Amino acid sequence: MKEDYVRKNKFYYRHIGPSSDEISDMLKELQYTSIKDFIMKTIPKKIRLKKKLNLPHSISEYQYLNHIYRISKKNKIYRSYIGLGYRNTITPSVIQRNILENPSWYTPYTPYQSEISQGRLEALINFQTMISDITGMKISNASMLDESTAAADAMFMIYQEKIKKKQIDNNYSFFISDDILPQTFSVLKTRCFGLGIHIIIDTHLNLLKNKYNGKKIFGLIISYPSCLGEIYDYRETIEYAKKNNISIIVSSDLLSLSLLKPPGEWGADVVVGSSQSFGVPMGYGGPHAAFFSTYERYKRFLPGRIIGISIDKKNKKAFRMALQTREQHIKRERATSNICTSQVLPAIMASMYALYHGKNGLIEIAKCIHEYTKKLEFLLVHNMSNITQVNTFYFDTIRIKTDFLKKIKKVAERKKTNFRYVDKKHLTITLDETTCNEDINHILSIFHEVYGINKHKYNCNKKINDKYKFPSFLKRTSNFLNHPIFHKFHSENELMRYIKRLEKKDISLNHSMIPLGSCTMKLNASTELFSLSQYEWRNIHPFVPNKQAMGYHFVIRNLKKYFKEITGFSGISLQPNSGAQGEYAGLMVIKYYHHSLQEYKRNIALIPSSSHGTNPASANMAGMKVISIATKNDGSIDKNDLLKKVKENKDFLSVLMITYPSTHGVYEIHIQEIIDIIHDNGGQVYMDGANMNAQVGLIKPEHLGVDVCHLNLHKTFAIPHGGGGPGMGPICVAKHLKPFLPNHPFIEKKKQELTISSSPYGSSSILTISYAYIRLLGPDGLKKCTEISVLNANYIKEKLKKFYNILYVGKNNTVAHELIIDCRLFKSIGIDVIDIAKRMIDYGFHAPTISFPVEGCMMIEPTESESKEELDRFIQTLINIRKEIKEIEEGKYSKKENVLKNAPHSIELLTHNDWNYPYSREKAAYPLSWVKDRKFWPSVNRVDDVYGDRNLVCTF
């Protein structure tokens, strides 16, 4: 009994789907007697690990919750008035409970399949409408990774557009106003270095003084309000820019635009910023949804995702992604962005915050913050001599000049308060939604103690004056959030029901497996996620002194240690906040390394067609030229083509980007020989970590000879996909590349300044999830996860091989953790891979990855978390669909009128009196007996792609 109890309390028995008996049955189906024998035949012997990972042993969920609670107490929650793009906010409980803590919202995948994503898509179009309205722009996306990368992508977008129109050449510069956020400046500087774009850093006022008349400038970025809180009159700057064909990017505070005239009304071409203050906790830096709004003319260059309004097959309104089933990263070399993980879950939270408060609520919140800021200025300046408030105009931030800054800092620290200390004589204080009279009294008490004023209570209720502390011509007069959707849900009851209505329209992991190849939709255990709701993890500003965030630093320090052990590398950066950002960061590390050796010409990235889809886009962003490498019929890299292209580009070779196992789903036998070829010719090898879940505990990338790899924490290490984000993409590097790892302006300085994200450790709060995953599984559990993910994939392969052509297999007729089935054979009868994908919805399944990496094919990845029973339902689904295809082949149904072409079948369609299809309603709705008990009803029929491309409306 005791042994059974201990076994059941081992987390990996909860995380891993198949039971011991089911594992034995699957091995028997594959004609193996043990998992060890099976793995030995699947993974090449010379690269397999010979000893287990040196990681802490697994602990139970109960033990872990006690452990992480103790760690959380190392974080010290001070009152933070630092600002710099991050603020305390109030997350409405109805949003926290029903979205942030709800697996129906945090476990779905990116909404490529519109028919089973209508809830999220509607929430995201609410976000886009909110951003467009508030910023005064015509179009917005949903969403960006953080404010700083949004600014960098805005710069890249206007640069691309002007290059394409031949309005500029490589001699043009980008102007960065010195009033923008320091972290945004650092990210922009990094991006410009990678692309070879010249930069000018100066005050926007100097742009008007003929100082740069001889300079060619293609764009500029300004801040509204500035990082010090000042609200500038930019009218002359805008006039100058328009006259000289300089595109204008405005980095703005979203909440302030409830009161301030939006940038879209005074000349901005692009507006960027963060929606964090709309109810999303600071979380020591993230995740937060950044926003990006612009004009229609930039639509084809816009990074990230755009959600639009289209129609379904029966002319009913439906939402979809503008690029629907094939996002930008599938375009590879032609991509205009490498963004593949946006911040969907935080964007949805922010949109619901706007729905909950409405326009009037946002205005009242903004007014309240502004009034408290005015009161604080009045009470400071009028109660003390030798204090000056420097900002002429402001919204929520005052800038104090004082001769006693050191004393103020000392007293503030003792009283658990954080200000921003700008220099030896200036500090800023940024107030927020949580500020109340008690906070004003507390701030005043710090200054009064320093200045020796004996006051214990201050009249904070005293009315100062009704005037805003910004120019009257910058007061907002235009309407916003006028659509009825922003007027309906101001009570908790109504918002809760609206959230539930949207939730029921989407398939998530709490309904069925999501078998997406290269995306790894594994269990996101509840225990792993509890920290996100805990006060000590949620409410820490990313720029507080380290001693206030010792809980975070404990997790960060140990995660780095674990990742080093798992990968074999000696250097780690947790800064990249998506897999694609990890790719970009890794390439920039390599670029800095080559430059340190004065090998400036090395800018060629060799990328096999079997590599992950974002690789070419990331290489383009790093200023590299992409050359494709062919793959052979068995899915492996064509060594002859590689040798040929290496020889042709020997002096310019920078990097080979590989994915291992490849996206073709095979472990390449000659991987070490391929890596040696690159090293022998002066290049570095970057390994995409998209498929790391087929390596953990069995292979170490560093042992293969790889120089850099990134880890998709939202895949291999259990961070939920959140409907398309958040994610994390840390990079791991070999010893010689450690000096070139990303840095940040708010941590220690290095000679090289490579900054990737707004905060030093990316989306820090979700790092606790991966920490939990590793501690709960331990070395044995992590290895077991890898083994079972590979076993599950091979079981599916074995069961489907009589019905579908399996495109690639390894030497011993095995695949890795994913497999590709060829659906191109059905084109002769008019059936495309998309028809199979849509029909799977009627069975209650999200389709596998379609048309990537091979056009017209499906890439299937079951993960280790799915039971044999669920795998069998999935297998039965694909077998039955193959029978439905056979019915078309045999002429029972026509090529145009059949159950696949009309899929999915909504309940509205099935209950309509005018049923005129050649098959029964039961065949459409309940193709297998078990579907009745598990039926998911799509809220729309098949969404019309063509209509959307012609006339896609992206806001309400």
Asked if residue 948 has pLDDT above 50, the reply is no
pLDDT in tens, 255-265: 999 999 999 99
Mean per-residue pLDDT for 502-522?
95
pLDDT in tens, 168-190: 998 999 999 999 999 999 999 99
pLDDT confidence bin for 311, thresholds 50/70/90: very high
CB neighbour list of residue 828: distance below 8 Å, 6 or more residues apart:
none
The pLDDT of residue 210 is: 75
Are the C-beta atoms of 645 and 606 separated by less than 8 Å? yes
Asked if residue 328 has pLDDT above 60, the reply is no
The pLDDT of residue 609 is: 87
Mean per-residue pLDDT for 865-887?
98
The pLDDT of residue 1 is: 41
Least confidently predicted of 469-473, 551-555, 861-865, 951-955: 951-955
Asked if residue 218 has pLDDT above 80, the reply is yes
Mean pLDDT score of the chain, rounded to an integer?
93
Are the C-beta atoms of 925 and 844 separated by less than 8 Å? no
- Rounded CA-CA distance 270/612 in Å is 30
Asked if residue 73 has pLDDT above 50, the reply is yes
Are the C-beta atoms of 190 and 588 separated by less than 8 Å? yes
pLDDT in tens, 740-796: 999 999 987 666 789 999 999 999 999 999 999 999 999 999 999 999 999 999 999
DSSP 8-state symbol, 47: G
Mean per-residue pLDDT for 304-317?
91
CB neighbour list of residue 799: distance below 8 Å, 6 or more residues apart:
29, 875, 879
The pLDDT of residue 945 is: 66
Mean per-residue pLDDT for 293-321?
91
pLDDT confidence bin for 208, thresholds 50/70/90: confident
The pLDDT of residue 359 is: 98
- 578 against 944, higher pLDDT: 578
CB atoms within 10 A of CB 582: 35
Are the C-beta atoms of 571 and 734 separated by less than 8 Å? yes
Asked if residue 569 has pLDDT above 70, the reply is yes
The pLDDT of residue 32 is: 97
Longest dimension (CA), the chain: 94
Q: Report residue 162 CA to chain centroid gap.
A: 28
The pLDDT of residue 8 is: 58
pLDDT in tens, 628-656: 999 988 888 999 999 999 999 999 999 99
Asked if residue 337 has pLDDT above 80, the reply is no
Asked if residue 108 has pLDDT above 90, the reply is yes
* Cα separations in angstroms, 493 against 93, 129, 503: 12, 23, 15
Written in H, E and C, the secondary structure of 159-212 is HHHHHHCCCCCCCCEEEEECCCCHHHHHHHHHHHHHHCCEEEEECHHHHHCCCC
DSSP 8-state symbol, 447: H
CA angle at 853 for the pair 851 and 854, rounded to the nearest 5°? 60
Are the C-beta atoms of 199 and 174 separated by less than 8 Å? yes
pLDDT in tens, 445-473: 999 999 988 765 555 556 667 789 999 99
Sheet holding 270-274, edge to edge: 139-140, 290-294, 270-274, 247-252, 217-224, 173-177, 198-202
The pLDDT of residue 213 is: 78
pLDDT in tens, 395-448: 999 999 999 999 999 999 999 999 999 999 999 999 999 999 999 999 999 999
The pLDDT of residue 460 is: 57
Residue 225: is the preceding peptide bond cis (ω within 30°)? yes
Helix (H, G, I), strand (E, B) or coil at 1: coil
pLDDT in tens, 40-55: 999 999 999 999 999 9
pLDDT confidence bin for 811, thresholds 50/70/90: confident
The pLDDT of residue 851 is: 86
- Rounded CA-CA distance 669/648 in Å is 25
The pLDDT of residue 353 is: 98
Mean per-residue pLDDT for 73-95?
98
Are the C-beta atoms of 244 and 208 separated by less than 8 Å? no
Asked if residue 583 has pLDDT above 70, the reply is yes
Q: What are 618's strand-pairing partners? A: none
pLDDT confidence bin for 369, thresholds 50/70/90: very high
The pLDDT of residue 509 is: 97
pLDDT confidence bin for 326, thresholds 50/70/90: very low
| Structural tokens at position 383 | 């109660």
Residue showing tokens 């820490």? 540
Residue showing tokens 């956020």? 181
Positive/negative CA dihedral, 319, 325, 329, 333 = negative
Mean per-residue pLDDT for 106-133?
96
Q: Percentage of residues in the chain with pLDDT exceeding 90? A: 87
Q: Percentage of residues in the chain with pLDDT exceeding 70? A: 94
Listed residue (677, 676, 675, 667) closest to 646, CA to CA: 677
Asked if residue 335 has pLDDT above 70, the reply is no
The pLDDT of residue 385 is: 76
Mean per-residue pLDDT for 861-865?
97
